[in-house]
Each structure stands twice: as C-alpha cells, then as structure tokens.
Structure 1
Amino acid sequence: MNLFRAQVLVCGGVGCSSEGSMDIANALKIELKKHRMENEIELIRIGCLGLCHLGPMLIVFPEGTFYSKISIKDIPEIVEQHLVSGRKVNRLAYYKSFYNYSVRSLEDVEFFNKQTRIALKNCGVIDPENIDEYLAFNGYKALEKALMDMTSEEVTDILKKSGLRGRGGGGFPTGVKWELTAKQVNDQKYMICNADEGDPGAFMDRSILEGDPHSVIEAMAIGGYAIGANEGYIYIRAEYPLAVERLKLAIKQAEEYGLLGENILGTGFDFKISIRLGAGAFVCGEETALINSIEGKRGMPNPKPPFPAQSGLWRKPTVINNVETYANIPQIILNGPEWFSNIGTEKSKGTKVFALGGKITNTGLIEVPMGITLREVIYDIGGGIPNEKKFKAVQTGGPSGGCITTENLDTPIDYDTLSALGSMMGSGGMIVLDEDNCMVDVAKFYLDFIKDESCGKCTPCRVGTKRMLEILEKITKGEGTMEDLDRLEYLAKQVKSISLCGLGQTAPNPVLSTLKYFKDEYIAHIVDKKCPAGVCQELVQYVINSSECKGCSICARQCPVNAISGEIRHPYTIDMEKCIKCGACVAKCPFKAIERR
C-alpha cells in the first residue's frame, strides 16, 4: 500500500466538470509526473462540494488549503509553489475560509454555516470510486447493524419513528411505505431507486450518486432486508454518464466485498442490484410510469390503486424511493430515529437538499434543516441577489412548483407551508428570480417544458397544457384579452383537478401561483401592451433618446434590417415597423442613447 505525503482533491461535481475540472485533473497528473511526485501526491476526483459558484476547485491536504476558480494555467504554480516548496498560492485560495486560507473541514467555510449535511455527508469528502474510503467513514455499518442486530420489523419501525418522508416530491412517510410493502405476502418483492431527476436546474440526486454511490446501495440493501426483497433496480437517465459509471463500479466493489449478492455478511440474506437506463422522460419520475419503463413498456402512468406497495414491478410488491431518501437511511440506522427527528419541524423531519440557482450570488448544492426560512437560504447561504437587483420571487419544486414572493420570505421551508403557498417541496430545485424576470414568461417557460414532457395518456394533461401554453404565448405577444386571463385560470384549475398523475396535477402550479401573486404583470401585458420586465420581445420597443444621440451612425451600421436611419452628427431614429427587436443597437451604442421600453 502506497503512503502519500499529501492528497489533492479535485471537485468533479456537475458545475466544476462543466468548467473543465477533468482537464485540470489531467493537467495535475502531467505536472506531478514532470516533478516525479506521482508516488508522493495522491490525486482524487471527488464529488460535488456544493460550492458551484467557486468552481473549478481543489483542496490540498493535510494543510486543507482550498483553491477556487482555478484554471489549467494555474496548475504549474500550485505544484511548484505549494506541493514542491510548501508555500500556499494565496491569490487562488478561497478568502472566506478560516485558518489562514486552510479548510480543516467543510464547516470552516461560511457557505456551510447554516447547513446540516446528512444526505451529502460524504460528498466532496471521500473518493467515490474507492469503497475503502466509504468503509472508513462507517460505510456499510448500518447494513451490518440491521442484519446482525435487528429484525426486519425493527428496521421499518426505526424509519417510522424517524419521521423520514420521501424526498422525491410527494413526501409520503418512508417507514409507512416500507411497512405496507413488508406486509404483502408474495414470493417476490423489489426495491427501486428513482434516479430519474428531470427538473430544469435540479442536480441533487445526480450529485449524490456521483459523490457517494455506496450510501444508496447500502440503503437499498437495508430496504431489501426490511421488506423481504432480494432484488433491486436503480432507474437512472442515460444523460448522467459519470453517475452511471460510478454506480456500476460501486456495485462491483460491494459484490467483491460480500456486501451485495448472496449470503451478505454470512447472514443468509441475498440482495442484488441492477441498473436500468432511462431515456430522459420527465414523466418517468412518476412511480408507475417508471415501473412501466423498467418493464420495457412506454413510460406512462397507471391509475392508482393498486399502489406499487401492493402491485408494482411485474405486479409484485415494490418500494420506490428517490436517491436523497435512500442517502438518509444509513445515518438514521446508525444514529437512531430520535437523532433524525430532532432535526427539522414537527411534520417535516431532517434535512432537505436543494439545487440553488438563478439570480443568486452563491449558486450550488445545499443541505439545510427543515424549518429554515427562505430568507436564510437566499441571503445567508445564497449570498443574496447579485448586481444590487431586487428579489422578486423564488420558484420551488421545479416545473411542478410555484413562485413564492417577498412577503413570504420568512416562511419556514417544509412540506406543508410550501403547499399552502401554492408551491411544493418537489425534488429540491430552487430558482431565484429578480426584478429583470417576467413572471408571465416564467410561467410560459415551465408550461412549454411540461407540454413536451406530458406522456399524452390523459386528455387534461395532453391537451390542457397545450391550451394553457397557447394562451400564455398570446399574452406575451400583446394579443391577449382579459377573457383569456379568466380562461387561463379556469383551465389551470380543471387540469389540476382531473389529470391522471402527478405531472398533470401539478403542471398548472406555475400559472396559478404567478396569477395569484403577479396578476398585475399579466394585466400590463394585456391592457398596456407592455412587459414590465422588458423580457417579452414582441412588447419591447427601442427608442433613441435624441438628447443623448451624437449621430455617430454605429447603431445604423449594426442594425441587420436597416431599421435605423439619420444623418451624421444628427439624432437617428428607429422605424418600429422594420425593427425586429434584436437589441444589437443597444449593445453597441457607446453613448447609451437607446432606451428599451
């Protein structure tokens, strides 16, 4: 076994990967080899740290120096100055960490001050491709405890007492679901992990699978023991190649260590896990559609009852939980139900992982206790709205959720309060909007997504979402009427009440919440033929301020349709009939003489 004098952890999360962290890791390998240090310095590509706005990142241990926003050209300096000479490169060090640019643990970074990491406990801390590192952090101890010291009923009872609710959107009590399935008498039962995360801007489950795949595998095995299942499936979209690769490796390693397969830990309990790739259909996040897809059928929901706990995969009793739900379970088994239930609120126990994005300073992945307020998340953790813009709303729950406004910023985040505001917890997407966002356009964006993702099985969703989108498009073009507004609201309520599955039942939420809180913006589009945020292109007008225009002709030369005319050193004008509202003139005017109205 090689003993390294230092470790370099390179973040391989979604954000950092998109910024080139893989190239940085390769550059590090080359540079270390150049200095003949490849046997002295261990290079590890970890999962998502959550600090996506600081990527790409790397941490050097044992010092714990945290480098952020690095590029390939910085690698020679880091290697020569820090790893060879022992001097930190202060210009690249994250200045908000303690201990003179060092990070003894993630809690030393103020971004994590109000976070509580349970599901994300190992993400960004261990090498996800090395089972020994997971074992070193008490990995598979929960499985050992369940198999050696507990009955299957005791396992289920712990989950019930913990108050853990499903983190995939519905919020159904996990222990109750397991208990219902365990009570079914059948020769075969199944555990399924729903990793088909499809919300725009959501990457919670993906990050857990990329950063800590063994936590999910361990939890599924515990679940198999609890309900009497010997087989499990992880349903994951093929769009997540790194997560799939690491899952395959983790399953292989667990089998080699006797933690999956036959006679696990010599207890006589058998459990195997297979991976099924999805094609990226949003509707397959609904459990019966997911089951149909695993069975090789088209991903379409079935009416319930029967519920999967009674008749699921191949008509056998089946438990379906999402990635985040599973990631909590080993810690609950190890630490006890009271430990978990003491976190959060009376009806929403534990923590919740959110993908924080949009108009926010600190974008990234966070895990916070249930009951924390939206204000704390947006301003204390998220760092507030950039460029001194005003907060307008936050969209929670993805395309199935709704918008929450300034007056409700002090709302505690839990299942019930978000639902009461016309939104939902959902899987954990949280998109912050500022004064430059048009709320009619936001509703249109989500309806456009939902319309394309509808499986088409039921008429209310298949046709209703399309009709709602048509009305929204009409309004954003300035062609809407007040009668359209009434029709939109009526249609949204009908689609919500009579659609077959959760996709259709929640599809109108963005429309209903924006109508509730931002009806004045809808009216401005209809009556005044103006978009207050200046987003809806058909309603935008560009006007040259004659007192500011110097007659330089730059705008006229940039216009692709020759809509701008005038004489040199005299104010120019824009022909509104010809103008295609591309904004090229505004971008190029050196005197800021063109106004967008």
Structure 2
Amino acid sequence: LEYTPLQIIEGIVISAYAIGAKQAYIYIRGEFLNGSRIFRNALAAASSRHYLGERILDTDFSLDLVVHRGAGAYICGEETAQLESIEGKRGEPRLKPPFPAIAGLYGLPTVVNNVETLCYVKHIIERGAQWFAKIGPEKSPGPKIMSVSGHVKKPGNYEIPLGIPARELIEEYAGGLLPGRTLKAFQPGGASSAALFVEDLDVAIDFDSLGAKRTMLGSGGFVVMDDTACMVNCARTLTRFFEHESCGQCTPCREGGQWVARMVARLEAGEGSEEDLRVLDTINSTITGTNLCPLGDSIMPFLASVLKRFPEEFAAHIAHGGCPLKQTPVGAA
C-alpha cells in the first residue's frame, strides 16, 4: 500500500479484465491511515492517466475501483465478513455455500483476493507462469512476505522464496536472536498458528511442510520467542485477543473463547488450578471445527501446542502464585 500502490492497482485491473468485472473494491484496515492516504493518491494518479475509469487506454474495458475503509475488526479479514462490511452491515461471516464466486457482494459473483496475490499478477504476466513456478518448492511455488517480530535483532518484513528453512529466516534475514538468548518457540503463521520449537528450525517455510507439523503459514506473521518469554503470558495475550475479536455469531467461539481467556488469565495471575489445566486440555475438540469461520478455530492452536510442550510452566504458575520467570515481553527485546 505504501511503497508499491501502483503494482496493486495494476494487478486489480488485470484481474478484473480477466474475469470481466467492471467494479472492484479494495478493503483497507482502519488503522492503516498512511497506507490509505498513499493508495488514494496513487488511485487518483492512475485515473488521471486513464489506467482506471471509462474505456481504459481507449479500449472497450472500463473499471471503477473503490477504496473501502474498515473500522479495525480482525474478523473482517474473513472474506464473507469483509463483504458484509462493504455492504454496510456488521462484519459477520456468512454461511457457506454459497461461496462468494457464486453469490458474493450484493448477491453477485465475486472474486476475493489478498493484495499480496494481486501484486504477483503483473510479474507473472511479464515473465510467465514457468518463471513463477520455479520460485520455491514444486507444490508451494512463489515468494512470500514474512513479517518477523519478537526476540530478533532485525524485526521487519522480508520477501523470501517459499521453501527456505525457518532457521534461515531467523538467523540470516532477521539477524538472529539477541546475544546470550536461546530460542524457545516460534509461530510461523501469525496469531492463529500453533507454536513450533527449536527442533523444528529446519522445517521448510511453505504450506505443505508447515501443515505436516500441524501448524500453518497463514498470513506470514512470524513471531520469535526466546528463553525469557513466558508461554503462559503469551497464551494469555493471544486468547484475550481472540476473545475480543470474536464477532459473537457462533456460540463455541463467543462463549468458549471467553471461558478459555478467563482460565488462562487466572493461570497467568497465579490464581488457576489443576482443574483449569484439565479443562483446557479437553476443550480443543469442543471449539475447533464448530464455527462458521476460522476465527473460532484460531483460539486453541498456540495454547494447545505450548500447554503440551511446556506443562511445567503452567504448573509453576499455580505453585508459585504467578510467573517465576524474569520475562522479556515479545516485541520488546
């Protein structure tokens, strides 16, 4: 949005031409104030040069591109909730089928794509599909922007070829951990993904390899946690986030998310019990797979993975009445 907005616009125009669409929308998260301003300026510049609007470049093809600002709801990243938001309704996921390609925005067939996907379009057109397919592994070709945060020397956004090991992303791209620190855990695909650990450093960053590890690539939000991170504290932060971001439409997500967040908060405060641990260990099957969208399924993966790997940390919070570690908050290294 901020550095290559014209690349996004070009991808949208090509994609709209390919499917015969005359109306396009770009949904920009409410917090992206600067990105929205830059994109609107780029949109005006493209329109003034007849790359958008009526009879683009004196052809028979016309396209109107509308910028729609969201209000910050995480749930609107789900495609049908996003369509509801554009229509002026509450951002709540729809029951599928029908899928957007059949009945989407205002009941019309709609294609929904991430801007990262749209940015690839012009390069594939210019260089060919075979060029793109040679980047990364055969089953997961292409580049990926990874947003690395947490306990690393150089947090930031890095474009990588899919298939490189997690170790390379952490050590070579992000500069490694701070001196004297050791790796404890990492999330390869943002808040919704299960944690991986030091023995998983050589896993390839691609969809299939991470799926085989029972986690996912997701949005590419790569979070690194060193030995000063408290897994109970990290779990509390994430469960509280998903509790807050639930749209409330599905009972397992709405009620289950609250129960999980409260139990983890009690444990983190040193007020939990062994019964809380037993409930958390069994609640995964109750919440997962019982909601209209993946947000409800996102509550448990990180918590379940660290509860299995670091049960002693959760037990220590009960025994000591709080966290026994000297913590460095993730993102504040």
TM-score with structure 2 setting the length = 0.95
SS of the residue corresponding to residue 430 of structure 1 reads strand
Does 2:2 align with 1:210? yes
Task: State the partner residue of 1:340.
Answer: 132
* Among 67, 92, 114, the residue aligned to 1:322: 114
* 8 Å CA contact retained: 1:236, 1:278: yes
Distance 1:522 1:370, change over 3 A: same
Task: State the partner residue of 1:500.
Answer: 292
Task: State the partner residue of 2:220.
Answer: 428
* Among 299, 302, 305, the residue aligned to 1:513: 305
Report the CA distance between 1:262 and its aligned residue. 1.5
Task: State the partner residue of 1:245.
Answer: 37
Does 2:13 align with 1:221? yes
Worse-matched range after superposition: 411-420 or 215-224 = 411-420
Report the CA distance between 1:381 and its aligned residue. 1.5
Task: State the partner residue of 1:256.
Answer: 48
Report the CA distance between 1:340 and its aligned residue. 0.4
- 1:450-482 CA-partner distances (Å, limit 9, x unpaired): 111100011111111110011111212223233
**What aligned pairs does 1:81-230 form with structure 2 within 5 A after superposition?**
209-230=1-22
Task: State the partner residue of 1:403.
Answer: 195
- Give me the CA root mean square deviation: 1.5
* Among 261, 272, 277, the residue aligned to 1:485: 277
Q: Give me the whole-angstrom Cα distance separating, in 2, the residues matched to 1:461 and 1:354.
A: 28
Q: Give me the whole-angstrom Cα distance separating, in 1, the residues matched to 2:119 and 2:54.
A: 23
Worse-matched range after superposition: 356-365 or 489-498 = 489-498
- 1:320-358 CA-partner distances (Å, limit 9, x unpaired): 111111111110111000000011112211111011111
- 1:405-452 CA-partner distances (Å, limit 9, x unpaired): 000000000112223323221212111111110111111101111111
Report the CA distance between 1:533 and its aligned residue. 2.5
Which protein, 1 or 2, shows the higher relative CO under an 8 Å CA cutoff with sep ≥ 6? 2
Give the structure with higher Rg (CA).
1
Amino acid at match of 1:256: S
Q: Give every structure 1 segment of 4 or more consecutive aligned residues whose post-TM-superposition deviation is greater than 4 Å.
A: 527-530
Worse-matched range after superposition: 231-240 or 310-319 = 231-240
Report the CA distance between 1:278 and its aligned residue. 0.4
Q: Give me the whole-angstrom Cα distance separating, in 2, the residues matched to 1:463 and 1:310.
A: 32
Report sequence identity in percent: 43
Report the CA distance between 1:252 and its aligned residue. 1.3
Q: Give me the whole-angstrom Cα distance separating, in 2, the residues matched to 1:482 and 1:396.
A: 30
* Among 262, 267, 285, the residue aligned to 2:77: 285
Q: Give me the whole-angstrom Cα distance separating, in 1, the residues matched to 2:47 and 2:106.
A: 25
Task: State the partner residue of 1:382.
Answer: 174
Q: Give me the whole-angstrom Cα distance separating, in 2, the residues matched to 1:244 and 1:312.
A: 24
Report the CA distance between 1:523 and its aligned residue. 2.5
Report the CA distance between 1:529 and its aligned residue. 4.8
Report the CA distance between 1:239 and its aligned residue. 1.7
Amino acid at match of 2:191: P
SS of the residue corresponding to residue 216 of structure 2 reads coil
Report the CA distance between 1:527 and its aligned residue. 4.4
- 1:244-294 CA-partner distances (Å, limit 9, x unpaired): 111111111111111111111222111110011100000000011000000
Q: Give me the whole-angstrom Cα distance separating, in 1, the residues matched to 2:142 and 2:105.
A: 29
Amino acid at match of 1:488: L
Give 5+ residue unaligned stretches, structure 1: 1-208, 537-597
SS of the residue corresponding to residue 239 of structure 1 reads coil
- 1:18-45 CA-partner distances (Å, limit 9, x unpaired): xxxxxxxxxxxxxxxxxxxxxxxxxxxx
SS of the residue corresponding to residue 319 of structure 1 reads coil
Q: Give me the whole-angstrom Cα distance separating, in 1, the residues matched to 2:276 and 2:144.
A: 38
Report the CA distance between 1:535 and its aligned residue. 4.2
Amino acid at match of 1:386: L
Aligned residues: 328
Q: Give me the whole-angstrom Cα distance separating, in 2, the residues matched to 1:492 and 1:443.
A: 14
Task: State the partner residue of 2:331.
Answer: none
Q: Give me the whole-angstrom Cα distance separating, in 2, the residues matched to 1:494 and 1:532.
A: 31
Does 2:265 align with 1:463? no
Amino acid at match of 1:468: V
Q: Give me the whole-angstrom Cα distance separating, in 2, the residues matched to 1:328 and 1:522.
A: 44
Does 2:210 align with 1:418? yes
Task: State the partner residue of 2:68.
Answer: 276
* Among 348, 360, 383, the residue aligned to 2:152: 360
* 8 Å CA contact retained: 1:447, 1:469: yes
* 8 Å CA contact retained: 2:267, 2:322: no
Report the CA distance between 1:509 and its aligned residue. 1.3
SS of the residue corresponding to residue 271 of structure 2 reads coil
Report the CA distance between 1:492 and its aligned residue. 2.5
Q: Give me the whole-angstrom Cα distance separating, in 2, the residues matched to 1:507 and 1:267.
A: 49
Q: Give me the whole-angstrom Cα distance separating, in 2, the residues matched to 1:245 and 1:529.
A: 48
Q: Give me the whole-angstrom Cα distance separating, in 2, the residues matched to 1:289 and 1:465.
A: 19
Task: State the partner residue of 1:88.
Answer: none
* Among 217, 242, 267, the residue aligned to 1:450: 242
Q: Give me the whole-angstrom Cα distance separating, in 1, the residues matched to 2:28 and 2:139.
A: 30
- 1:169-205 CA-partner distances (Å, limit 9, x unpaired): xxxxxxxxxxxxxxxxxxxxxxxxxxxxxxxxxxxxx
Report the CA distance between 1:318 and its aligned residue. 0.5
Q: Give me the whole-angstrom Cα distance separating, in 1, the residues matched to 2:124 and 2:284.
A: 40
Amino acid at match of 2:7: S
Report the CA distance between 1:487 and its aligned residue. 0.6
Amino acid at match of 1:322: N
Distance 1:419 1:507, change over 3 A: farther
- 1:280-326 CA-partner distances (Å, limit 9, x unpaired): 00000001100000000011111111110111000101011111111
Does 2:79 align with 1:295? no
* 8 Å CA contact retained: 2:242, 2:298: no
TM-score with structure 1 setting the length = 0.53
Q: Give me the whole-angstrom Cα distance separating, in 2, the residues matched to 1:492 and 1:441.
A: 19
Q: Give me the whole-angstrom Cα distance separating, in 1, the residues matched to 2:296 and 2:313.
A: 25
Give 5+ residue unaligned stretches, structure 2: 329-333
Q: Give me the whole-angstrom Cα distance separating, in 2, the residues matched to 1:299 and 1:374.
A: 34
